[in-house]
Every structure is written in structure tokens, then in C-alpha cells.
Structure 1
Amino acid sequence: MRHKPAGLARRRPRLGDATSWGLAIGEAPARIKFRARAAQVACCTEDAAQMGVPRKLKLEHPPVGSGTRVEAGTCLLALSGRAADLHYLWKPEQTLMEYAAGITTATADLAQAARRANPHVSVACTRKSFPGGKAILAGAPYRTGSACRRLCWSLRSIGPSSVPRPPPKR
């Protein structure tokens, strides 16, 4: 996707992470692994990984690609770095992947059911999103071969670089 995922982290308070400060572990080396709680279609894992770049977090392995169907327990993303940096980004990264995967999984399941009934059916999703989420979540249906209804008009105010490209024809 073509938004700036680090912007999500900048919305956090600039005071740092209270857990790291309170336990005096901010400078300690640490790791975090994000795992799928249930079977799902992963989404925005690459964006979550990019959120760690400004804080110099290291990828332990490439994230599971957006649009990949995974089983419960699959490691979606693993990062290492200073505990303070990991604690600071933990919730924004988790929320981004959780919301996007929920929408992508529901869309994939709906499209799959519709295509069982009619292999030539097109599935188009609503443009509704949560505040600040349009540029992030507009691409979720495209990961499943679906589309967003009248998306170009609604993203005009965000800018053309944010408009996700549809998947290639199968």
C-alpha cells in the first residue's frame, strides 16, 4: 500500500512508553512476535514492519505477505530492537494488522462463497472505514480479487499515490 505507516506511530504520545520506563527496561534488547490468533488472510504486515524502520527495529524474517491465507498460530511478523521501541510500536502495529486482516478475511470468505455460486461474479466492498483508516484499508479487498465501490472518488482528497492498484486479471 502507498500510505505512510509510520504516521500511525506518530499519533502516539511523545512521552515514550510507560511500561519500559516503569520497569527500567527501555535499553534492554528485546523481541516481539505477532501471531495469527485464528485462521485469516494476512494484511498490512509489510506496513507494520515499515513502522519499525524509523526506530531501527530489525526484521527477524520477512513478514507474511499481505493476501496470504494463514492458520492460527502463524508468525506474521517478528521484530527485534530496544524494548522501549518495541513497546512503543506494539499496539499500533497490532491494531493495523488486526483490523486489516479482519476486513481482508471477511472479504475473501464472502468472495469465495459468491464465486462458488457464480464463478464470474464480481464482489465490490463499501468504502466505509474507521477514522484515519481509509488509505490503509482501501487496498484490503484487492488482496482477495475484489474491489472497492467508487473508490477513486472517495480517495481524491488523499491523493493519487494512495489509490491501490487492482490485482491483475486471472
Structure 2
Amino acid sequence: MMYFSQAEIDQLILEDVPLHDETTRALGLPDAPGSLTYTARQHGVLAGIAPLQRLAQALGLRAEPLAADGDLLAPGQAVLRLHGGAHALHLAWKQGMNLLEYLGGIASATRQMVDAARAGNPRVQVAGTRKAHPGARKLQHYAVLCGGGMVHRAGLSETILVFAQHRAFLPGLDVEQLVARAKAHSPEKFVLIEAEDAQDALAAARAGADGVQLDKMSPQELAELVPQLRAMQPRLVINAAGGIRPDSAAQFAASGVDVLVTSSLYNARAADFGAVMRVD
């Protein structure tokens, strides 16, 4: 689903092992063959198995996947078993747990949001933004995908998204001129305008923008505006952003927007996993 480079995997290892495992060294731990099994302690959505397998393999361990990223989990379900020497098992142990717990929490929150939103509109998408934790964006985006969501915008190089902050430095250009300039310089790129109000959104649609992002509008305001935008440009992609939570997602989705854009998924509570090591 998503490729993780060897450099990224190595960085995960180096973060936890800048030199060596001092506990293993100090105890004189024998490098006996053994296994490490990760087990879910609660219901949720699995995420993190793919990068964890790569991490284990980089340490010389054999990975035995017992479930796949995106699977629904039950308490007590084993998801991955690693085989190899005790030293490498201890190097993989906690960083592997971090991947499963933090990414699993995001994936589970995403699935909850998707299910809630699609109760209001079966075709709506839930998208995670680039407002992720610094250094962890790719992993967090991966977790969103595992939970059934999509990536709103992986980075600045992807789509053209015009904010008020851009417009502050171009005071002489109206929305129509901004759209025309963006399309002239990047004809292959999707042009999205964040609209400050209904008038701004209608102007963006009239100007030929590919999409509008409606920030901090209530579901009621969206329900009034979306039909107007559709009548003006039927193929316009309409995003809603701001204040979207599981308890409000259905209302936002029912307004007729295409995408619910949120950063709240990244603050999800971590999933709970157990880990057991055994000597073979």
C-alpha cells in the first residue's frame, strides 16, 4: 500500500538503538533463539505490520504475519510473531510496539470517523491532512489509509491549495485571476481554493477552480451552499474542514460535500497491544 525505504526503516531502528542495547550487554543476555508475539488487547483496526516486518527483517529476524494492516481485531488476537536471536528480538520489541499502538490508534479512529460519516453520505471520503506530527507524517498517513481514509495532501509539491495566507501577498489579484495564474503555470495540477465564506466559494467555482475547501462552516451553512456550488459547477470537488469529529461527521457528510478534511485523527488514543517473548 505504501513503500517505506530502507533508510526510513533504519531510522526507526537508530532512534531506539543509537549505539547498542545496554541492558542486554550489562546482563550478559545469551543470544539464544526465541520468538516474540504481539497480541491485540482490544477491538480496533490493525496498522503498522508492514513497516514492522521490514524493521524485523533489517535486524535479521524472520517475521510471521498473523494478520494484515487494515484488519479488524478482537482482544487476544495475535497479529505478528518474530523469530530469531534474543538480542535482535529485544531491539525490535519496543519500537515494534510503538508502531502497532500509535498507528493502530489512528487507524481505529479513522475507521470510526469513516463509519460515522458514511451514515450521513455513503460516498463521502475522510481525509487526513499534512498537519501531522513532525517527522511522523508518512507513518500517520499510512495509518489513515489502513483505517479506510485517504490522504488529503501529502505535501506542498502535490496539489495547489490557495490559502488566505497566499492571498495576503497577492492583494491585487481576485479569485478568478488566482485560479487562472495557477492553471497557466501548472496545467496538470488540481487547483483547490480555501474559501473564507459562501461568496468566496461561489467566486472560486465561477472562476473554474477544481475544488473548494470550506473551512469552519457549520453543517447547516454547508447544506445551503453545496447545492449552489453544484449548480454552478457539477464536477467541483467540495471539501469541508474544521470541527469535524465522529459525533458530527454524519451531519457534515449529509450536507453533500465530497471530502471531510481533518487533523484530529493524529491525536487518537494509542491502541493497546501485549508482547510475549519465549525461548525456543
Q: TM-score range by the shorter chain?
A: 0.7 to 0.9
SS in 1 for 2:125: coil
Query: Which protein has the larger Cα radius of gyration, Structure 1 or Structure 2?
Result: 2
Q: Distance in 1 between matches of 2:34 and 2:94?
A: 16
SS in 1 for 2:16: coil
SS in 2 for 1:79: strand
Q: Does 1:115 align with 2:115?
A: no
Q: Distance in 1 between matches of 2:131 and 2:123?
A: 25
The structural deviation recorded for 1:153 is 2.6
Q: Which range moved further: 105-114 or 136-145?
A: 136-145
Distance 1:55 1:49, change over 3 A: same
Distance 1:10 1:26, change over 3 A: farther
Q: Does 1:17 align with 2:21?
A: yes
Out of 143, 153, 168, the residue aligned to residue 150 of structure 1 is: 153
The structural deviation recorded for 1:152 is 4.3
SS in 1 for 2:83: strand
Aligned residue-pair number: 155
Q: Which range moved further: 1-10 or 145-154?
A: 145-154
The structural deviation recorded for 1:115 is 0.8
Q: Which range moved further: 118-127 or 107-116?
A: 118-127
Q: State the percentage of identical aligned residues.
A: 30
Segments of 4+ moved more than 3 angstroms: none
The structural deviation recorded for 1:151 is 2.2
Out of 35, 39, 44, the residue aligned to residue 35 of structure 1 is: 39
Contact kept? 1:46, 1:63, Cα under 8 Å: no
**TM-score of the superposition, structure 2-length normalised?**
0.51
Q: Does 1:3 align with 2:4?
A: yes
Which residues in structure 2 correspond to 1:1-170 (within 5 Å)?
1-4=2-5, 5-59=9-63, 61-153=64-156
SS in 2 for 1:11: helix
- Offset from partner CA, 1:128-164 (integer Å, 9 cap, x none): 32232112221222223321222243779xxxxxxxx
The structural deviation recorded for 1:14 is 4.0
Q: Distance in 2 between matches of 1:38 and 1:128?
A: 28
Q: Distance in 2 between matches of 1:2 and 1:63?
A: 20
Q: Which range moved further: 123-132 or 46-55?
A: 123-132
SS in 2 for 1:128: coil
Distance 1:118 1:52, change over 3 A: same
Contact kept? 1:3, 1:136, Cα under 8 Å: no
Q: Distance in 2 between matches of 1:77 and 1:95?
A: 14
Contact kept? 2:110, 2:148, Cα under 8 Å: no
Q: Distance in 1 between matches of 2:40 and 2:10?
A: 22
- Unpaired segments ≥5 residues, structure 1: 157-170
Aligned to 1:159: none
* Cα RMSD after superposing both structures: 2.1
SS in 2 for 1:76: strand
